[in-house]
Every structure is written in structure tokens, then in C-alpha cells.
Amino acid sequence: MKRLLGITCLSSVTCFAAGVSPVSAGDSPLRLFVPDGQVKSHPLRVFVTKAVQEADLPRLDLYAPHTIDGAQLGGVHGWKPKLVAPGQQWTDVVDGQAVARDGTLLMFDLSTYPMPGWKPMARVTPVLRWGEAPGTCVVVGSQDIYLGHLQVAVAWTAAMLVVLTAAIGLAARRKTGHMRYLLCGPDHYFSLWRVQLTAWTLAVGGMVFCFGMIRMAVPHIPDSLVALMGLSLATGAVSAAKARTDADRKTLVPADGAAAGAGMNPGLPAFADLISDYSEPLSRVVLSIPKAQMLFWTVVILVLFITKTILDGQLWEVPWELVALTGFSQAGYVGDKFTKGQPVTSVSPAPPGGGGGAAASGGVARG
């Protein structure tokens, strides 16, 4: 939920137009509500507890007090609204209670708001004025808000992810000879649950960093995202326990770096590892429907999550129906491991019409 800043009319608010009376002491003060952390590529929503018409010529001024180096920026004044909608309601939360307020909703196009090319956001003080003469009625914000530049924030996020991923990958390469092994099981095959957990970590962490830069605060993380991450961790824990049980029953010859011993991947990890398994009764590699289904739902929900988050300007709350579908696919993936109850060895598929292929001795369960 976006944090709403209640921007209260200061004591200096006045009404000078002929026929307009000042606000008396018994009247409710004017209030301005602006959701914090909006991005300039989206229409800026402004709500004022006053019936304002388009004929009143409402204008929005944005004051940017200073930059990070202390340089004064002044302000950008006179933004005309694209939409003026009186007779609207706005729900505010006061002491944990929802309070509905009547007034006018205004929407402004700030796509051309000037902002340095390296800054993901700008701190501004909004001022709304309207009336026949300039400054007839004015509501001055008592607090600053952050206006985000989404494209720049996405660029900073991508750079951060690349640097962190490269650093972790280089550390993995120094230990195992290749950074791909970070996503592999002990047998040096790609592990599906490790790939899924990594993908969700990058996606959720990247979006949290992106909107954290825009709002200068940690964004709200929906419960459904926490549940998805928890499902991935639970699946990994069960898969690791199963692999450890299988390893106790088989002897795995250790490998140095990328070198392969008995039961080890003789080459580099490949995408096919994520949708295949070894069948000991058939003595060959077979495709795995549960693994393919789990991979399918992971990709679909990740793409939807990243797209909806960027378009909506906030972390997308994944519907619980999709969370349930993910849980079912992961349950099938884990159940398939226990149903087979067989370790995995590095055996190539049998050629058409040929024998089943010779199984290498030993092995561990592939994730």
C-alpha cells in the first residue's frame, strides 16, 4: 500500500477572490493528499478536500529545495491538470481507522518534469493553487514527497544486479572452476529448485531496490511474495534432504573443479538438466513432466511479476490462486522424487534402436 502523506493547509492559506470568504475557525481545514513515491511517467494524483472546478484554473507548483550537492534548483510552476474531477472521495487512515473525505481529484502529466539524468527520484514540495487570480486559494504542503524517474531507477537496479551477480559468480568460479556450478547440485547438474530460488531472489530483490530508491523507503512486500519465496525454500530443503539420503546409499567419487567422477556431470550444466531425470529401471535419461511444469509456472509468474510491478509502480501482489498453482507444481516435483526413490547418474540417452546405455556407477539425486 502506498504511504499517503496528509499535507495540511498552513495558517497562511488565504482566499482573496471577490465573493470568496476566508476559511473560518469553525470550518475544517483544507487538506491535500498526494501518494508518495509516484513516478513521473504515470499521471500524478492529487486530492484536495475542496470542490474545485476546471474553471477555477487549478495549478500545481513543485518546489525542489536542493540537490545532493546542495545546489538550489528552485521550482517548476504552473502545471495544468489533465483531469479535474470534483465530487470524489479519498480514503485516509487516521489512527488505524479509515476516514472517507470528499473533495476533488486532479491528475497531472509530469512526464516532462526536469530531472538530472542520473537521479532516480527528486524530492519536491507540492503546492496547489486555484482561483480567478493567481494564488487566490493556496494549499502548501507541510512535507516533501518523492517523485520517481522509473527508467533511471531501473537502470540503477540493473547495474546493481549485474555487479552483485558478477561478484558472486567470480567467487563461485574460484572455488569450482565455473560460475554455473553455483546453480548445480553436488553432481554438477543444474538444480531446478536452486535456479527457481535464484530467479525469485533476483526479481524480488531487484524490484525492492528499484522502488526503494524511488521512495527512499523499503516498499511494502506483499504476503503472497513471501509465500512464494517460502515455497521455494521448502522445496529446496526437501530436495536436499532426499539427495542426502540417496548419497548415503551410493558412493560418489569426488570431482576436482569441473572434472567429472563417477556419477558426475561429464560436461557443463545445460538447460536440459532442468526438465530431465535419470530413470534407473530404463538405464537412460528421461524427460520429467513435474520438472517441466514447475519450470513453466516459475517463468510465467516471474514475467507477470516484473511486468506488473513496473507498470503499476509498486510491488505486484501475486494472486493467491497463482501461489496455489505454484505450490501444487512444487508438490508434484518433490513427490516425483520420492516416488522414484532412485539416485541419478550421468548417463546419456540411448540411441534409437540401441541398448539402454551403460550407467555410470554411483550418483546423487539431481535437484
pLDDT at 110: 92
The 44-48 sheet, strands edge to edge? 4-8, 31-35, 44-48, 97-108, 81-94
- With cut-offs at 50, 70 and 90, classify the pLDDT of residue 300: very high
pLDDT at residue 158 greater than cutoff 80: yes
Higher pLDDT, residue 355 or 11: 355
Structure confidence by residue, pLDDT tens digits, 163-209: 999 999 999 999 888 888 899 888 788 989 899 989 999 999 999 99
How many residues are listed for the chain in this entry? 367
Question: Distance between CA atoms of 335 and 266, rounded to whole angstroms?
Answer: 27
The secondary structure element, H or E, covering residue 142 is none
Burial 145-161 (b: 16+ CB within 10 A, else e): bbbbbbebbbebbeeeb
**Burial of 339 from C-beta contacts in 10 A (0-12 / 13-18 / 19+):** exposed
Across 28-44, average pLDDT? 88
pLDDT at 351: 52
pLDDT at residue 315 greater than cutoff 70: yes
Burial 265-277 (b: 16+ CB within 10 A, else e): beeebeeebbbbb
pLDDT at 105: 96
- Give the SS3 label for residue 232: helix
Of 10-19, 82-91, 187-196, 219-228, the least confident: 10-19
Structure confidence by residue, pLDDT tens digits, 132-156: 765 678 997 768 899 999 999 999 9
Domain boundaries, the chain: 4-148, 151-340
Question: Distance between CA atoms of 30 and 59, rounded to whole angstroms?
Answer: 16
pLDDT at residue 108 greater than cutoff 90: yes
pLDDT at 362: 42
Return the C-alpha cell found at 18: 471577490
What's this model's pTM, rounded to 2 decimal places? 0.71
Across 26-45, average pLDDT? 84
Winning range, highest mean pLDDT, from 32-36, 62-66, 84-88, 226-230: 84-88
